[in-house]
Amino acid sequence: MTDERPQVELNVHGGDARLPAKCASESQVMLSQQMMPSDANPLGNVHGGYVMKLVDEAGALAAMRHARRPVVTVAMDSITFLSPVRVGHVIMLHSAVNWVGKSSIEVGVRVEAENPITGEITHTNSAYAVFVALDDAGKPCTVPPLILETDQDRRRWDEAEARQQLRLTRAKKK
Ligand SMILES: CC(C)(COP(=O)(O)OP(=O)(O)OC[C@H]1O[C@@H](n2cnc3c(N)ncnc32)[C@H](O)[C@@H]1OP(=O)(O)O)[C@@H](O)C(=O)NCCC(=O)NCCS
């Protein structure tokens, strides 16, 4: 028997069905910032903690745009820095919603650094963080479903769902 529901409905996942579903492209964030000496160690390498702060900000903004609610970070996966970011370079963060639960939202953040003189761009790190949307009383509230438009969106959803299950299993064990 074939599924006769409209295609768009088949692509809607998670969240609260009473809220209008959104695509990841509607909430994605691009954030660029030139690194200053105050962001770095004496050798001119930007502090990892500063990059993590920007990851948190870019991730939270995508989650807020999806939920149109304030959010808090409930989990951030481990981060490995693949190459240093130098003072004077431009750090570029691209964040997008991968997955939504009831009140939780997983966002993926890709961080790149550009040498503005040579134009060389290097991949600094990628990170995944989970945010929870809050109501006016500061309690978790439901978020809109996510529309998966492309094969990449569907792959990201599946991978994010597996990561979230792992996080919750680990949290329970603790
Ligand atoms: C996030 C917070 C509001 C959740 O409150 P709570 O009473 O535990 O709420 P719940 O148990 O209903 O969990 C809410 C959601 O978070 C998810 N969640 C909880 N712990 C999680 C974890 N370790 N990893 C990933 N997701 C988690 C739950 O699965 C749930 O998702 P769902 O609604 O989509 O099913 C609360 O833990 C909090 O305020 N934490 C501090 C947040 C903060 O200050 N962050 C900044 C860091 S200093």
pLDDT cut 70: percent of the chain above it: 95
In b/e form, how buried is each residue of 107-124, taking b as 16+ CB within 10 angstroms? Answer: bbbbbbbbeeeeeeeeeb
Q: How distant, in Å, are the alpha carbons of 41, 78, 111 from that of 29?
A: 27, 21, 12
d(CA 143, CA 103): 5
Residue nearest to atom 3 of ligand 1 (CA): 140
Contact 156, 147 (CB under 8 A): no
Q: Nearest Cα to 104, choosing from 138, 76, 143, 135?
A: 143
On the question of pLDDT at 87 being above 80, the answer is: yes
The per-residue pLDDT for 137 is 98
On the question of pLDDT at 1 being above 90, the answer is: no
Q: Nearest Cα to 114, choosing from 35, 30, 28, 29?
A: 35
SS3 130: strand
Which atom of ligand 1 approaches the CA of 101 most closely? Answer: 34
On the question of pLDDT at 3 being above 90, the answer is: no
d(CA 87, CA 26): 32
- Residue 163's pLDDT band, with cuts at 50, 70 and 90, is very high
In short, whether 82's Cβ falls inside 6 Å of ligand 1 is no
* pTM score of the predicted model: 0.95
- How is the chain split into domains, by residue range? 7-173
- State the architecture of 7-173 in CATH terms: Roll (3.10)
In short, whether 72's Cβ falls inside 6 Å of ligand 1 is yes
Bridge-based pairing of strands 90-100 and 104-114 is: antiparallel
Which atom of ligand 1 approaches the CA of 102 most closely? Answer: 34
Mutate to test the pocket of ligand 1, among 13, 55, 74, 168 (most ligand atoms within 8 A of CB): 74
Spacing, Cα 131 to ligand 1 middle (Å)? 8
The per-residue pLDDT for 94 is 98
Which helix (DSSP H) or strand (DSSP E) does residue 109 occupy? strand 104-114
